[in-house]
Each structure stands twice: as structure tokens, then as C-alpha cells.
Amino acid sequence: MKRSVNVIEISLKISYPDAMTFKLSHKLFAAFFLILAIVAGTLVLSRVIFSLHFKNYIQQLDREKLESLAPVLGNAYKTHGNWNEIKSNPWAWQQIMNMPPNGGAFRFTPSSEGGHPEDRLRPTDGRPHGRPHDVFLVDAMHRPVMGEPGAEDSKTLVSIEVDGRIVGWLGMSRKDPFRSGRPEVFMEQQARQFYILGSIVIGLTGLIAFIFSRSLLKPIGQLTLGTRELANRNFSVRIPPATGDELGQLADHFNTMARTLENYEKTRRQWLTDISHELRTPLGILRGEIEALQDGIREPSSENLSSLHAEILRITKLVEDLHLISMAESDSLFFKKEPVCPAFVLEKTGVLWEQRLGSAEIQTQWHLDSIKNTLIKGDADRLGQVFSNIFENTCKYVGSPGMLKITGLQNGNLIKLLFEDSGPGVPEEALSRLFDRLYRVENSRNRGSGGSGLGLSICRHILENHKGKIWAQSNDMGGLSIGIHLPLA
């Protein structure tokens, strides 16, 4: 029961993210809509803040207006000792309300002196002021004198003082400064401009978001299709870089990866073809000879058995070389590195191949005196394997009679070994491929000479592990030169 419960829990954990998966396009649009919402919220908040500050500004102007009117009304009260003259003279009240914001000198004419009502109270500069104000006046006991104050109007009262005594109060009966007069017109204009500007900003933001998301999603969609083709082993797919940004660089990297995989696939197929070809020929020969012995066509003589043994050795050598190069390419080849003299290892290996070189009528010339005591850090057995492969190739491919010249030099912090034979040579176009596995040069490097095409490839891997280098070039004798660089210890 416990195991079944665990299985159910695992299946839920695997299926849950699939249900919550969103496409990148959905995420982009969600992000852009969030930006739009933030922009719209910012605009609304800015309007609210502007309205609050503008309302405070209007209220401050109204208070300054009241504070400028208070001394004028205080003088009128001081002249008559009460508010009766103001209360009975609406024209004077209207003139006071039209007083300019910076005040001015006024001449108050009592109603008992006669005269035209317009002359009783006017600014001395003669300029009319016609701004309407919802101002009210109450006496010291808050009894209405002019205007009708509301229940909340007592919060914005300005005192009128005469000789240090409060004789009345001025206030504004307007509750909302935005619902009448010029502030109302101004706010309506601001609201229209706000809605127009907000619509333009949101529309432009949406359009830019659509264009940007489309330009962003197009290369991503191409990359998605390209990776799908790679998963289906179509390594010839390429994505044209449309931009110079990171997505364009990603397309370039994708194309590089596709080319690398395509080369690996070609190499793998060639590898399998070459291996099957290499094994099929000796196995076919071995099978034919065994069947000939079984059918009585050939007698089981010492010569026939030697031929069978030679084919078995050839197959064994090929399998061992394949195993060795496989380990080298997977970095599984073991190296025991210690101070070693390459000249000593080379001479020791040369002694082992002296008889075969003599049988092939190949004369050797040694020039290793300058590196007799030079040491490097390496594996003597693996270096001996490299030198053995070179001697083996010389025995197989150099014509008889022939010459092999071996030279050792020290060049700075490097040891240079040069193996120069008398030919036949190798075409220039084939020199760079000599170290590819299972590669043979036509006519000169063929199966008839007994080569598998793995020896120099193995040499390259061994020397690379020693931080060295191997190369091939033509020489003046008409043959092939193999050069080796090894760093000093």
C-alpha cells in the first residue's frame, strides 16, 4: 500500500507542472498588460494627487482672499461700531467682494450721506473687479450678517478683529471648489486632456508591446522548430540570424552546434562503415580458408595454418587499436607520467624494429646527440607506442631500398623529433587527414600493406595527452616527414 501511494504522489508531481505551463507568448502579453495597468494606475494616481494639490491651492487662495478682506471689514465695523451699515448696504458688500487680491485703498460712504450707491464703496484706482465669491460674514456670536453659512463652514473661518477684540468672522460657503466657477472649467479641461493622453499612452504602449513581442517571439519560434529538427536527427537545419542582439548570437551558436552535430554524425557513419569494412575483409578471408580446409580443397599444412594465424593476428591488432583509440577519445587511457628521456625511449624502440627495418632494406640515420640527456614528463610506454607506430608505417610504406632519417633538436622549451623517409610521398591534400582514424591514402596506404589507418590517430591522442603535437609534411627526398613537439619537464 505504501508503494502505491508513492507512485500516485510521483505521478501527480509530474503532471501538475504541465497543467500550470504557460506559453512564452502568454507570459509576454501578461507582462505587457501588467505594464499597461501600472501606467494606467500611475496616470490615475497622478490625477488624484493633482486634484488634491489643486484643491488645497484653491483653498489657500480663498483663505488669502478672506485674510485680505478682514482688515477692510474691520475698518468698516470700527467706523460704525456695528455691522448694520454693511448689512443694509448690499452694494458696499459687493464692492468689497470685488476687491483685488493685493488689496487697495477704499473709501466707504455711509448710506446716510447719500450719493449714488456705486460711489459708496469703490477702489480708488477706479478698476472694476467682477469675480463672484461665496463669502459669508457672521458677527462675534456667529450670527449671519451677509450670506448663509453651512454646517461645515465654520472650519475655514477667518476672524475680524478691532482693537484686539473679535467682532466677526469671514468664511467661504463653497464646499467643493471644483463644482463651480473657473476651477470647475479648469478641472474639466484637465480631465479631458487626461483621458486623451491616457488613451494615447495606453494605445502606443499596447502597439509597441505587440510589435516587440512579435519580433521577440519570431526568432524564438524558429529556434524551437530548429531544436525539434535536431531532435529528429535533421542536423542540416540552419537558422538565419535576423538580429544582432543576444537572440542573433543564440542563432549563430545554434548553427555552430548544428554543424558540429552534422560533422559528428558524418564521422560516426563513416566510423561504422570503416569498422565494418575493416573487419569484413579479414573475416571473409579467414572464413574462406577455413571452409576450404573443411571441404578438403586445401590441406591443413603448416603454411595454411600460418595464413590463418596471420589473419587472426590482423583482426586482433585491429580490435586492440579500436579499443585503444576509443579509450583515448573518452579520456579513459591511463598514463603514468614521470621524468623520461625521449631519445632513450626512441633508441630502445629502434632496437626492437632494427631487424624488420633491415628486412625491408631501409637504412636508418640517427641524429639525437643534442637531446641525449633532455628530459620530459611523460609515459615511457605510451611514447614507445608512438615510436613503434611510426617505425611500423615506415616498414609498410617506404619503398625498398629506402632511407629513414631521425633527428632530435631542442628548441626553447620544446623537443623536436623529425622522422624523414625516402618515399613514396603523400599528396598535399592528404597530409592534414593522415591523423584521422581509419584514413588511408590511395595506392600507398592500403590494406595490402597491412595498415588499418589507426596508428597515427593513436599517436595524435597520446601526444596531445602529453601536451605535445604531431604533424606531417613533404620533404626534399620525395617522401614523408613526421614531426613531433614535446614540452620539457
In DSSP terms, which residues pair with 158 in a beta bridge? 170
Work out the number of other CB atoms within 10 angstroms of the CB of residue 265.
13
pLDDT digits (tens, 9 = 90+) for 289-305: 888 888 888 888 888 88
For residue 308 the three cell numbers come to 590463418
Domains of the chain: 25-172 (no CATH), 246-327 (1.10.287.130), 334-444+451-487 (3.30.565.10)
Is it the case that residue 179 has pLDDT exceeding 50?
yes
pLDDT digits (tens, 9 = 90+) for 81-118: 888 888 888 887 887 777 665 555 455 555 454 444 44
Whole-number percent of the chain with pLDDT over 90: 22
Classify strands 362-367 and 402-411 as parallel, antiparallel or unpaired.
Answer: parallel
pLDDT digits (tens, 9 = 90+) for 72-84: 888 888 888 888 8
Mean pLDDT of all residues in 11-38: 63
Can you tell me the distance from the alpha carbon of 391 to that of 353, in angstroms, rounded to the nearest whole number? 7
Task: Please report, in angstroms and rounded to a whole number, the separation of the first and last CA atoms in the chain.
Answer: 65
Residues recorded for the chain = 489
Mean pLDDT of all residues in 365-394: 94
Task: Provide DSSP, 452-482.
Answer: -S-HHHHHHHHHHHTT-EEEEEE-TTSSEEE
CB 175 within 8 A of CB 150: yes
For residue 151 the three cell numbers come to 454646517
**One-letter amino acid for residue 329 of the chain:** E
In DSSP terms, which residues pair with 485 in a beta bridge? 416, 469
Work out the number of other CB atoms within 10 angstroms of the CB of residue 68.
16
Whole-number percent of the chain with pLDDT over 70: 82
Mean pLDDT of all residues in 185-211: 80
Q: What is the pLDDT of residue 30?
A: 78
pLDDT digits (tens, 9 = 90+) for 127-149: 333 344 578 888 888 888 888 77
Work out the number of other CB atoms within 10 angstroms of the CB of residue 135.
21
What pTM was computed for the model? 0.51
